[in-house]
Chain A
Amino acid sequence: MNEQELRRLIGAVKHGKLSRRGFAQRMLAVGLTAPMATQLLAIAGVAHAQPKSQYKPAKRGGGGLLKVLWWQGPTLLNPHFAVGTKDQDGSRLFYDPLAAWDPDGNLKPKLAASIPGREDGTLAADGKSVVWKLKQNVTWHDGKPFTADDVVFNWEYAKDPATAATTAASYNECVVEKIDQYSVMVKFAKATPFWADAFVGTRGMIIPKHLFADYIGAKSREAPTNLKPVGTGPYMFKDFKPGDMVSGVINPNYYENNKPYFDAIEMKGGGDAVSAARAVLQSGEYDFAWNLQVEDEILARLEKGGKGKVEISPGGNIEHIQLNFTDPWTEVDGERASLKTKHPTLSDPAVRQAISLLVDKDSIEKHIYGRTGPATANFVNNPARFVSKTTKYEFSVDKANEVLEKAGWKKGGDGIREKDGKKLKFVYQTSINQPRQKTQAIIKQAAQKAGIDIELKSVTASVFFSSDVANPDTYTKFYCDIQMYTTTMSQPDPEVFMVQFASYEAATKENKWQGRNITRWQNKEYDDNYKAAQSEVDPVKRAAMFIEANNMVINNYVVIPVVMRPGVAATGTKLNASISGWDNNTWDLSDWYKDA
């Protein structure tokens, strides 16, 4: 899909010929995310959709206790320190961002009075600034009013390197100014098509200035409010035991009428995913359970208990196979898989193509992941009718054989193909995790039929995903031929995500393997395209460039996408909870309610 086509589609949405959802789906099919698609529409002047509220209760409270299960409980409740989503989810009970991402990738106002847009001039045409208008009736849990000063303070707090905030990346590149008591302006040095990052979604929660002002920078750990949050959210802090329990009681002054429905909330931590699923689906002891990365077969069996249902929320996470472009078996200057080497066999595009033909994604989806891992040709799963041109996957041993044969890889006496004395023998590593080992086995079997010998290796997750410089088995070192894991797309914009294929980001000894490009694929064309996309003013052109970038990665077989990993949660049958793959599980907690 090129720029013209994109513009035509945006025009179609503008004239009502194409639905917003239809547009978002087409964007998904070419590797963009739903939030990015809706942002494109906003910049092009198509008004934001007003997500319809499904909220039914006619009065605040009266819903009793809401019991939710996070099998890894939150360990801290300052959103700017959040290490993982569990901490963000926990903080979200008490804190709100200005706006949040709904399941379709639309923005829903929280502390903001409205979503910035071109129509009312709050979104600059050059993409260099955005004005947020704040709700005026919001008070902190301690009764103090919420104002623009709080918003500006959060920017100062997060960008201070001494605070070491995990949200820093969202605030480093912008300048935030107070316009009046209830509006702020976020200014960017360069045109920023993805402007809804600071103060939005997972990293956008706002903490109160009056309680944190004395604890900015190096003293940030000492703030008493780190452990006893005072926010604007639907629930007020009651008790916190790190890793075990977060509890809250209803906020009687919540800024939206008739919300929240529950009188109190308990977020319990600990245990494992299977028993968490059991507590919701089978025994009904709990109303909601988070992140159930459990085999679908087990979930389906537990669901028969009839006490709850499994909720799947698509996001950007993807289980994928990486092919090494450097030689992991030769040491150069004290470093294996050095950029100075070339992989003896995988550097041949025919070999990479053959391997991608040998990944039986449909079987992997059907027999291993089920609903929790739809097969994908791309970085995002796509509706079948859009697959045709750019994104296609195929499983065919015959075709793989044909491709290899044509490229001159002939079967030797042992049934393994070779050329110029180099055999197609690979080591394929991943972390220890049952579905991954099963996937490995399926691929190994298919490869055997095509004359490729694959040796399987599995590494404990805590070693594989560590950044330990001394350990040879980490995924960033990639000291083998093929590896597989899930890469998380924690930001709805692909810029950060796609940097992992830029040549200059290669993970090497020099940067202590912190570079994001793990396959060490070197391609000037990609770099040029990526750099151009970074500084592209026109959001539509930029989107087209990312689509192109995605195609390059797929068509060069740099990585082979296997299955999408959507969010999986369990909810009690009576609970109504909207779960978004683009935001925290608790993004819309104020709207959760139970059917009578």
Chain B
Amino acid sequence: MFGDYSLSDLGAIFAMQGFAGLILFSVYVLMALGLAIIFGQMGVINMAHGEFMILGAYVTWMTSSAFQQYLPSLFPGYFFIAMCLAFIASGALGMLVEWALIRHLYKRPLDTLLATWGLSLILQQAYRSVFGAREVGVELPEWMMGSWQATDAIQIPINGMFVMALTVLITIVVAYVLFWSRWGRQVRAVVQNRVMAGAVGINTEKVDRYTFGLGCGIAGIAGSAFTMIGSTGPTAGQLYIVDTFLVVVFGGAASLVGTIASAFTISQAQSTMEFFLSGSMAKVLTLLAIVAILMVRPQGLFALKVRK
């Protein structure tokens, strides 16, 4: 399959496919970060995670339309406001869902899966009723369009670079919040030993609610970033949910580093293979490889060593 290409061509192909993979990687990381917090830290399986992402995407779309109509002069900067709004909207919905649904099911993880699946059906239909079944696309401000010519053969789109920079920033913020802030310590304390955490005066219910809200909020930001590179439809979230779960499981559920490493591996493998095989076969091979590796090493790539 490499025979028809010269060496420099191959280099350019790998560079560009590698970059396409990096964009996919960014979306995976943003989605998986939220899920890693919810699933990895809290042990809740949130099948509606994709729908929280799509909520963020719709919020971004609404903000961009509003800016176009009422504040065209500020349009180039709308994205930052949209992102904050997406975070708030998804996070608020997440906290509501935690209060109404998830908190009753902490002891029954498999049932959370079913209940959140029901929630995802309701949200999908709600999006369809409110926004219509057609996909909507966001108009990008001018500075995000176009691409950067690195060499003759290599072109790198600017919106992709922006999404990547955003991903790096958010990852750093999340890592800071979880590992160094006071609140992050409370979250980890509750995860590791709920009873003791409660005994030393941490309000575990409140921590649960905010943790779930944070995870969903990050999904909202992921959706916001997602509008930069694709269009949004009511069922777009479902396409990513299995991939995202695999990213989190493959990385080792409780490890943020693992999540990022596995998102990188999966997205690069997929986009590099996509160039040489058909898209569907690339996906099949990637998923098969993950499932095979998980069968050999069920705890994922980066697992905390614990005695069971």
To the question of whether A and B form a pair in one complex, the answer is: no
Q: Which residues of A are interface residues toward B (Cβ below 8 A)? A: none
User: Which residues of B approach A to under 8 Å, CB–CB?
Assistant: none
